[in-house]
A and B are shown apart, each in its own frame.
Chain A
Amino acid sequence: QKEVEQDPGPLSVPEGAIVSLNCTYSNSAFQYFMWYRQYSRKGPELLMYTYSSGNKEDGRFTAQVDKSSKYISLFIRDSQPSDSATYLCAMGAGAGGTSYGKLTFGQGTILTVHP
């Protein structure tokens, strides 16, 4: 079993739709969680960083973490064609462990928002 599972999609939605992207994980040592957006042939760009369970909102993006269920989500409201990209979840262990600083990535979900 992979440490981080993410549905690769592809996911295709109409412009204006609400998009829900999800990852599950098995390692309880993961303490912080990130979502990255990667356009084709580019490096990933950090979208959201969360450290605790609950919701964090930034513009049209909301990151949700449920540590008890080992489940994280990214919601995109009013999706735009420019949101079409691959979305990667990433997570890391807390300070003090030997894995501190390393990130484990999901496979990435390919999202297409069509006009």
Chain B
Amino acid sequence: GAVVSQHPSWVICKSGTSVKIECRSLDFQATTMFWYRQFPKQSLMLMATSNEGSKATYEQGVEKDKFLINHASLTLSTLTVTSAHPEDSSFYICTARFNIGTKNIQYFGAGTRLSVL
């Protein structure tokens, strides 16, 4: 399957700082990437859809000024958690959408565990 790289895998930061998470599709171009958040023992909650060259589309209840998304190229999307607080501690996962014919498959990054002290 296609490879999606997510970095960093784990970050610990102080409250009030900003954290940037990168998501790269390594062997295909992804015009669309998605950002998810996952709490322990819970399913994945879609935060936003990241489209190359345009503004991200945020799901209801997700603060766009809090979670800044930039999809600057066909292989890179970034999520910046601004002024992070302990309640932002979570597992953040990106996916890159791979289209082939009528297939529409999302490949996941390995995830980033964010711990805000």
Q: Is the CB–CB distance between B105 and A88 below 8 Å?
A: no
Q: Is the CB–CB distance between B42 and A101 below 8 Å?
A: no
Q: How many residues on chain B are close to A (CB under 8 Å)?
A: 25
Given A43-B93, A95-B102, A88:B108 Cβ within 8 A: no
Give residues 37-95 of A contacting B (CB, 8 Å): 41-46, 49, 51, 88, 90, 92, 95
Contacting residue for A107 out of B1, B42, B109, CB 8 A: B42
Q: Is the CB–CB distance between B111 and A43 below 8 Å?
A: yes
Band of interface residues on A = 20 to 34
**0/1 interface trace, chain B 3-36, chain A, CB 8 Å (1 if under):** 0001000000000000000000000000010100
Q: Which residues of B contact A108 (CB under 8 A)?
A: 42-43
Q: Is the CB–CB distance between A41 and B113 below 8 Å?
A: yes
- Most chain-A CB neighbours within 10 Å: which of B42, B46, B104, B108? B104
Enumerate chain B interface residues (CB-CB to A < 8 A).
1, 6, 32, 34, 41-44, 46, 49, 91, 93, 95, 97, 102-111, 113
Not counting A42-B111, A101-B49, a sample of 13 additional A-B residue pairs whose C-beta atoms are within 8 angstroms of each other reads: A8-B41, A32-B103, A32-B104, A41-B111, A43-B93, A43-B108, A46-B106, A46-B107, A51-B103, A88-B44, A90-B106, A101-B104, A103-B34
